[in-house]
Amino acid sequence: MKLSTKGRYAVTAMLDLVIHMDEGPVSLSDIAERQHVSLSYLEQLFAKLRRRGLVASTRGPGGGYSLNDAPENVAVVDIILAVDENIDNTNCSGAANCQHDEQCLTHDLWQDLSNQIQEFLAGISLAELASRGSIKRIAARQDGVEQDIFPVTEMPSVMSKRVGVSK
Amino acid sequence: MKLSTKGRYAVTAMLDLVIHMDEGPVSLSDIAERQHVSLSYLEQLFAKLRRRGLVASTRGPGGGYSLNDAPENVAVVDIILAVDENIDNTNCSGAANCQHDEQCLTHDLWQDLSNQIQEFLAGISLAELASRGSIKRIAARQDGVEQDIFPVTEMPSVMSKRVGVSK
DNA sequence: AGAATAACCAACTATTTTAGTCAATTATTA
DNA sequence: TAATAATTGACTAAAATAGTTGGTTATTCT
């Protein structure tokens, strides 16, 4: 299966977007700063999310990304499928031709497992996630924490801003 | 998470072992032939399974591997954990220090998912798997199929036997 | 009009994991 | 003593992961 940090980053970024979208489009550099993911990596992920129709983009100052649908209608599984391609656990990608054009011994087991995971992740929407108390607390910390940890001017911009971009 | 072909091969091989263990130890070369996995790769996997105490080995002619415990007591999750190390889906391996020593936004979500998968795979024993009709059918096919596909002497030994081993 | 902002795009890269191979040794049995 | 089969260790090709680098294009603010 594919459940790597790629999918986790994507879900985290989308959740950050939902939490901050009341003030218009959310820029990737803001998400990068808050969630400590590299901006260029986010760009790749959001390119896929946009192609899948999950988000819409606005260019220029004040621009950023916004959800194409209500947070209630976006499930975690949609996000993971958009960036990770598949959630399938079989060797044959479900085709059941794992061995001489027939099923391998454990084909059904991996198929069942895939369905389990699929159903679990399909049952959780961004709206539900954003409403959780534990997540609200962490988001509040992230929104107010930068000043606390990095006193005034010395924020390690390397982590969140583009470096070495020439004019 | 780690759910790769490594874990799938291991479960398939262990299931093959259970199906054929009534006639004493099962050799890796037999499993390699039946399940079409390379012998050297199986050796690596069974070294881990032995270290974890899931199987016992018998050397010499007629030797092979046998289960250390009743098939009822070996869950699929045990096998995957033995070869894949962990089934954890969080970035911080469950330590909840994913971001500045505190939880990242989605930590709880991945934790819940890990638990789901864990429970599912813990609920399936080798005995239960081996008793399934679909698996019995496939095993029967595998036990009788070699003669049908590779007439008499011309079995492609490359796939299942060691090649180039000098004295 | 010009500077800043921010999305968009393509190519490249270091590191890790996967899925093995290759070569040899040790133990056991016929 | 020959064959069988586990055991060990080092190596490797290919793919995936997690980015980086260097730009271009569109929009808005001054």
In this predicted structure, what is the pLDDT of residue A28? Answer: 94
pLDDT exceeds cutoff 70 at A101? no
Coil/strand/helix, residue A55: strand
* Pairs across A and B, CB distance < 8 A: 94
B137 Cβ neighbours under 8 A, 6+ residues apart: none
B105 Cβ neighbours under 8 A, 6+ residues apart: A12, A15, A16, A35, A135, A138, A139, A142
How far does the CA of A29 sit from the C1' of D21, in Å?
17
Look over chain A and give the mean of its residue pLDDT values, rounded to a whole number: 80
In this predicted structure, what is the pLDDT of residue A72? Answer: 97
Among B5, B91, B135, the residue with its CB nearest the CB of A105 is B135
In this predicted structure, what is the pLDDT of residue B37? Answer: 86
Q: Which nucleotide is nearest to A26 (CA to C1')?
A: C6
In this predicted structure, what is the pLDDT of residue A20? Answer: 95
pLDDT exceeds cutoff 80 at A91? no
In this predicted structure, what is the pLDDT of residue B111? Answer: 86
Cβ of B108 and A134 within 8 Å? yes
Per residue in A114-142, pLDDT (tens digit) is: 889 999 999 999 999 999 999 999 888 88
B43 Cβ neighbours under 8 A, 6+ residues apart: B28
Cβ(A82)–Cβ(A52) below 8 Å = yes
Alpha-carbon span A57 to A46, nearest angstrom: 9
Coil/strand/helix, residue B57: strand
Q: Is the CB of B5 under 7 A from strand C?
A: yes
Which residues of A are less than 8 Å from B146 in CB distance? none
Cβ of B103 and A138 within 8 Å? yes
In this predicted structure, what is the pLDDT of residue A110? Answer: 87
Alpha-carbon span B72 to B74, nearest angstrom: 6
Per residue in A49-66, pLDDT (tens digit) is: 999 999 999 999 999 999
In this predicted structure, what is the pLDDT of residue A163? Answer: 41
Coil/strand/helix, residue B31: helix
Locate A71 and state its tokens.
């947070």
Is the CB of A65 inside 8 Å of chain B's CB atoms?
no
| Neighbour tally for B74: CB within 10 Å | 22
Which residues of B are less than 8 Å from A5 in CB distance? 91
Among A5, A99, A120, the residue with its CB nearest the CB of B36 is A99
Side chain identity at residue B76, one-letter code: V
A147 Cβ neighbours under 8 A, 6+ residues apart: none
In this predicted structure, what is the pLDDT of residue A86? Answer: 63
Q: Is the CB of A38 under 7 A from strand D?
A: yes
In this predicted structure, what is the pLDDT of residue B154? Answer: 33
Per residue in A5-36, pLDDT (tens digit) is: 788 889 999 999 999 999 899 999 999 988 88
Is the CB of B109 inside 8 Å of chain A's CB atoms?
yes
Per residue in A57-90, pLDDT (tens digit) is: 999 999 999 999 999 999 999 999 998 766 666 6
User: pLDDT tens, position by position, for chain B (167 residues)?
Assistant: 467 778 888 999 999 999 999 989 999 999 998 888 889 899 999 999 999 999 999 999 999 999 999 999 999 999 998 887 665 666 655 556 566 656 788 888 988 998 899 899 999 999 999 999 999 998 988 877 544 343 333 333 333 344 333 33
